[in-house]
Structure 1
Amino acid sequence: MPHSPDASPDKASLRAIALARRAALDAPTRAAAAEAAADHAMAWLGEVAGEIVSVFSPIGQEIATEPLIRRLRAAGAQIALPVVLAPGKPLIFRLWEPGVELVATAGPGRMRIPAPPESAPAVAPDVLIVPLAGFDARGHRLGYGAGFYDRTLALLRRAKRIEAIGYAFAVQQLPDVPDEPHDERLDAVATDAGIIRVVAED
């Protein structure tokens, strides 16, 4: 059941707290955490050979995804990356083959996001590795306010079973993230501290 916005701090305040914690991590800690989170994510995902897994290109101080991509490719998964089409629209996903150079594309606000070129095939992923600013143990995430992943997950989940895994540093966990009816919950969150398994809510 959605939480009342009056029952806890607003999303902007919580996002600022989580991002400040993330920013405080030093480079060696970040590198070790990315390797640990990749191991936890792979243990959770299990057999991925032949599956299409959408990962994200880290922006700014987001957790590195290269260690996870390396493990996924070694396990036989195909890698896709999200592409922003326009504000207010769901994301699409394009395959990213080894050796293909990424190009800068429009993201939320003034952000530029590395993505496969337009010549790369568009695909429907089986698994989404989802970036986030903050998260809680109920599987609710704080993004960056543009709503891309909520719209995208809602669309994909109407078509088939999609596994959505949040991916972040453990310090980004919050006690409680306010949720609204349009918010799409994660199935799990992988961090350097382990996997948070999300339990279905009544």
Structure 2
Amino acid sequence: MADDETNDFASPACFLHEIDPAYSGLSASMAWADVNRWRKAERERLIAERLAVPADVRAGWGEIIAAGVLAEIGDVSGLIVSAYWPFRGEPDFRPFMEEVAARGGRTALPVVVEKGQPLEFHLWQTGEALSRGVWNIPIPAERRPCMPDIVISPVVGYDPACYRLGYGGGFFDRTLAALPARPRVIGIGYSMARLATIHPQAHDIPMDLIVTEAGTVRPQADVSTVRALT
């Protein structure tokens, strides 16, 4: 997904991400301004950490994640699957889109239309023309809007309840809230991006599941379970 904003990296935000939220002083009722500051620091830390992983290692993880997603979807024939163009160390899912097309599915890319507005999805497959969109991320040159059956969304961070920490633009949640029918939403990312919680707010929408190179995460809302996993 392209809910991105460009940020300079800051120093790592200590180790609050590894501590039970109750001990870090971040309560479920904390003000949005405090949550937003905390998320910004975590976003910068997590992006810096994944970019520090050698590219060949990330590529290997990406292949494992793609295989896991295909296993979760099953038969893709006749389905429209929206993936994304890789950005800032995200798993490269371009080979995944080729595999979906080879198996009889159709692929699409998300497109940022305007700040503060939901994303659009446009059909695209490998070999078709691209143009430059917001943040210079490639988008389909030919606009063919569609409604995907499955949306693959990269995460900056995630928690055991399958809430996603994105880039801060809010496009992902805004898009899901606006769609007339919700697609199956699969988050993907590296296991190193796991957080105890992202401190979800009323506007946050969890994913159906998250696939990492270490396995699949399915929503677990029990606080005791969250603490046990930290």
Q: Structure 1 length as normaliser, TM-score?
A: 0.88
Question: Which residue of the partner structure matches residue 87 of structure 2?
Answer: 59
Q: 1:139 aligns with which of 162, 178, 185?
A: 162
Relative to structure 1, the CA distance from residue 5 to residue 75 in structure 2 (aligned partners, 3 Å threshold; closer, same or farther) is farther
Is residue 18–residue 173 contact of structure 1 (8 Å, CA) maintained in 2? no
Q: Any idea what the Cα deviations from partners look like across 1:68-111, whole Å, max 9, x if unmatched?
A: 213222222100000111000000011003311211111xxxx2
Q: Any idea what the Cα deviations from partners look like across 1:104-142, whole Å, max 9, x if unmatched?
A: 111xxxx2211101x331001111101221111111111
Question: Which residue of the partner structure matches residue 139 of structure 2?
Answer: 115
State the identity as a percent: 36
Question: Which residue of the partner structure matches residue 16 of structure 2?
Answer: none
Letter in 1 for 2:184: E
- Give the Cα–Cα distance (whole angstroms) in 2 for the partners of residues 87 and 17 of structure 1: 25
| Rg larger for | 2
Relative to structure 1, the CA distance from residue 87 to residue 161 in structure 2 (aligned partners, 3 Å threshold; closer, same or farther) is closer
Is residue 51–residue 88 contact of structure 2 (8 Å, CA) maintained in 1? no
1:5 aligns to what SS in structure 2? coil
Higher relative contact order (CA 8 A, sep 6+): 1
- Give the Cα–Cα distance (whole angstroms) in 1 for the partners of residues 156 and 76 of structure 2: 26
- Give the Cα–Cα distance (whole angstroms) in 2 for the partners of residues 196 and 67 of structure 1: 23
- Give the Cα–Cα distance (whole angstroms) in 2 for the partners of residues 74 and 3 of structure 1: 45
Is residue 34–residue 67 contact of structure 1 (8 Å, CA) maintained in 2? no
Letter in 2 for 1:3: A
- Give the Cα–Cα distance (whole angstroms) in 1 for the partners of residues 99 and 215 of structure 2: 17
Question: Which residue of the partner structure matches residue 15 of structure 2?
Answer: none
Question: Which residue of the partner structure matches residue 88 of structure 1?
Answer: 116
CA RMSD of aligned residues (A): 2.1
Question: Which residue of the partner structure matches residue 194 of structure 2?
Answer: 173
Question: Which residue of the partner structure matches residue 218 of structure 2?
Answer: 197
Is residue 10–residue 178 contact of structure 1 (8 Å, CA) maintained in 2? no
1:64 aligns to what SS in structure 2? coil
Instruction: Map 1:16-165; keep pairs closer than 5 Å.
Output: 16-106=44-134, 111-117=135-141, 119-156=142-179, 159-165=180-186
Q: Structure 2 length as normaliser, TM-score?
A: 0.78
Letter in 2 for 1:39: A
List 4+ stretches of structure 1 deviating above 3 A.
5-9
The 10-residue stretch of structure 1 (58-67 or 35-44) with the greater mean CA deviation from structure 2: 58-67
Letter in 2 for 1:124: M
Q: How many residues align?
A: 194
Where structure 2 has 5 or more consecutive residues not aligned to the other structure, the ranges are 1-26, 223-230
- Give the Cα–Cα distance (whole angstroms) in 2 for the partners of residues 18 and 181 of structure 1: 23
Where structure 1 has 5 or more consecutive residues not aligned to the other structure, the ranges are none
